[in-house]
């Protein structure tokens, strides 16, 4: 199940996405190089595995992990409803209506999660939903990226 991304070890591509919902700020590549490792989660309100991983994202957030997101081919009202129902662990959410940033990242599906170091370099790509057994592993990868 481990697919090595061609983006691992590379800097986050340059992008600037508009805010997906009014309640959270927009997302640009500069927000992913803040000096602190973080997660970038690619999700959509219409994605069933995204619902399955929601509790794990909230668990990561409560463990102090910073999580930003890109919503793929989605509508603000659907995203707001999804987050209202399943929880909102995100600091920022960019809207990628054409999947252009998603494709630049070498991501083909949702959900997908990238671990990004403090310099904005991708150190790990997690394909598919984050399950309970992945939480500790992701926290370790984040700590190692510091």
Residue 11 covered by a domain: no
Token couple for 54: 């929601």
Residue 21 covered by a domain: yes
Token couple for 52: 């399955």
Beta bridge partners of 41: 69, 113
Question: Region 103-110: what's the mean pLDDT?
Answer: 90
- Residue 137 maps to which CATH number? 3.40.30.10
Q: Which domain holds residue 35?
A: 16-144
Question: Region 93-121: what's the mean pLDDT?
Answer: 95
Question: pTM score, two decimals?
Answer: 0.95
Residue 66 covered by a domain: yes
Share of the chain above pLDDT 70, in %: 97
Residue 71 covered by a domain: yes
SS3 4: coil
Question: Region 80-98: what's the mean pLDDT?
Answer: 98
Q: What is the pLDDT of residue 4?
A: 57
């Amino acid at each position: 199940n481990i697919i090595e991304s061609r983006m691992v070890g590379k800097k986050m591509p340059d992008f600037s996405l508009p805010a997906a919902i009014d309640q959270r700020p927009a997302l640009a590549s500069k927000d992913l190089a803040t000096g602190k490792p973080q997660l970038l989660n690619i999700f959509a309100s219409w994605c069933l595995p995204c619902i399955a991983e929601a509790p794990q994202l909230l668990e990561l957030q409560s463990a102090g992990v910073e999580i930003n997101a890109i919503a793929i081919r989605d509508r603000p009202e659907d995203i707001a409803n999804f987050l209202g129902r399943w929880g909102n662990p995100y600091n920022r959410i960019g809207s990628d209506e054409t999947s252009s940033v998603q494709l630049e990242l070498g991501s083909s599906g949702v959900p997908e999660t990238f671990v990004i170091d403090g310099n904005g370099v991708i150190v790990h790509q997690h394909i598919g939903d984050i399950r309970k057994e992945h939480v500790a592993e992701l926290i370790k990868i984040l700590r190692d990226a510091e």
